Chain A
Amino acid sequence: MGDEENRRRFVQLALPHAGAAYNLARWLTQNEQDAQDVAQEAMMRALRYIGNFHGDNARPWLLQIVRHACFSWLKENRPAERTFLDDDDDSLQEIAAPASDEPQSIALRKAERREINQAIAALPVAYREVLVLRELEDLSYTDIARIAEIPVGTVMSRLSRARGLMRIALVPGARPVLRTVPRAVNGGNAS
């Protein structure tokens, strides 16, 4: 009977967000087959724990499970991807601020679909996830904070940093320096 109820709730609450679950897994694992495996595992967990969910919006709840499954997978399979980020606010603030004389808007107009996708794919995973959750899933900062298990202030910092890196990547002629650690980028920009 409990199983029956769980399945009913799973169909009503979790299945409608299966598309979002796959999209997030796809962006975090960067590969279709792995995304399918991870999303499947997440959905099975969601079914098992749906009884613990008491809210009206299951999307952040489900995406938190997916995100968790993705990070476990990354830990196993892509240990190098798990960059440890320094969320120190002051350093982030300096780096995230684009140089004021940068012709950002003009440069961006030329950005193509492929370049934008590549730029997102090249972001360190902790930045990539907040950007995907914000721009593709249109989630609020509060929901993103819950999914990524970080404070809202850190969501703001990472999102801003992610967009700063996107800008750098999309400016024609700029070196693709996205994998460089923040301090190096900072040093390189000093004029």
Chain B
Amino acid sequence: MKQNIDSRRIDAFVDGELGLESQLEIEREMRVDADVRERVEAARHLRAAVRENADYHEIPAALRGRFDALAAPEPMPDAAPKASRPARPPRAAARVERWFGWRPAAASLALVGIGALTMNMATVQTSRDDRLLDEVVSSHVRSTLGQHLVDVASSDHHTVKPWLSSKLDFSPPVSELHLPDCEFVGGRVDYLDGRPVAALVYRKGRHIVNAFVWPSAAKDSKADFSTERGFQVARWSQGAMTHWVVSDVNREEFDAIVRAIQSAESAK
């Protein structure tokens, strides 16, 4: 059998580093060519074996101490010969300095928290939703304009879900939608509402659909539809996740997509 796909592409495929077109091309090849399938399997296997088994050399404590000392506000931090024990004062000073280094950030975070609490909650919620609506639509537009539609290009949720879970602090529901003329393109990590979120991307005809998901404490709710700058937007809570879906498809198709996402998830 001839090697019609070179190993670099197999490796880049397994690493999720191929562009969308090439990624899909290899997936197609895998479906029709057992040899390609086997090589992808082997590459995945090797990758996993190396990641699980290769030593990650822990930094020795003494070296870390020397690094901390470097940051101490003392001239000539490395003047002492290596054999001599590291001087106490610089290390203590480094710790103090580290603490002060972080404090402004911590303090401002705390202030933001207190500020948010003391404001009228209803106002906060409304303006938050408006701001979020704007963020979601902007994010959708950016994804369709630029190169960065997906981080992981795959029509297989078994590929996309683990990838997203590994990049996020939650595991988003991922499903291919079984709708006519609708294709699952992949996923990416996006940033909305001040946190990293999962974005699932579908293609309906020539239109792109972005479905954003992130955890929330809100109770399940029905989809709330709106339009923003000509885009269809739906938002709802389901299974302890907030969902926002955006697209420029027509309202009827959009409804069908939202329903498909909801039923795919409730079927789980």
Contacts and interface: CB of A to CB of B under 8 A. Distances in A.
B101 A11 contact: yes
**SS class of chain A's interface: helix, strand, loop or mixed?**
helix
A120 interface: yes
A7 B17 CA distance: 36
A3 B57 contact: no
Interface string B41-79: 111011101110111111110011011101111000010
Nearest to A22: B59
B7 A15 contact: no
B54 A105 contact: no
B60 A166 contact: no
Interface in B1-56: 1, 3, 6-8, 10-12, 15, 17, 35, 38-39, 41-43, 45-47, 49-51, 53-56
B71 A111 contact: no
A108 B46 contact: yes
A116 B6 contact: no
Interface in A133-173: 134-136, 140-141, 156-157, 159-160, 163-164, 166-167, 170
Interface in A82-140: 92-93, 96-98, 100, 104-105, 108-109, 111-113, 116-117, 120, 131-132, 134-136, 140
Contact of A19 (B1, B51, B58, B68): B58
A108 B49 contact: yes
Contacts of A131: 50
A116 B97 CA distance: 41
A11 B93 CA distance: 12
Given A98-B7, A156-B11, A140 B43 contact: no
A165 to B, nearest CB: 11
Mostly helix, strand, loop or mixed at chain B's interface? helix
Contacts of B56: 23, 136
B54 A117 contact: yes
B42 A22 contact: no
Given A15-B71, A43-B70, A93-B6, A120 B11 contact: no
A71 interface: no
Contacts of B42: 98, 104-105, 108, 167
A148 B242 CA distance: 41
Contacts of B15: 134, 141, 159
A132 B56 CA distance: 9
A68 interface: no
Interface stretch (A34-42, A53-61, A73-81, A175-183): A34-42
Nearest to B94: A11
Interface size class of A (residues with CB under 8 A): 35 or more
Interface string A1-42: 001100110111001001101110011000010011001100
A96 B8 contact: yes
A36 B12 CA distance: 33
A47 interface: yes
Contacts of B73: 3-4, 7
A185 interface: no
B54 A135 contact: yes
B22 to A, nearest CB: 12
B51 A135 contact: yes
B207 interface: no
Given A27-B57, A93-B6, A135-B54, A116 B70 contact: no
B98 interface: yes
Contact of A111 (B1, B49, B58): B49
Nearest to A8: B101
A96 B44 CA distance: 16
Given A100-B35, A157-B8, A22 B43 contact: no
Interface centre among A7, A132, A136, by most chain B C-beta atoms within 10 angstroms, is: A7
Contacts of B10: 160
A26 B39 CA distance: 31
7 contacts: A23-B59, A27-B57, A44-B78, A98-B42, A111-B53, A135-B50, A141-B12
List the 6 closest pairs (A to B, CB-CB), nearest first.
A22-B59, A26-B57, A96-B7, A104-B42, A116-B53, A113-B53
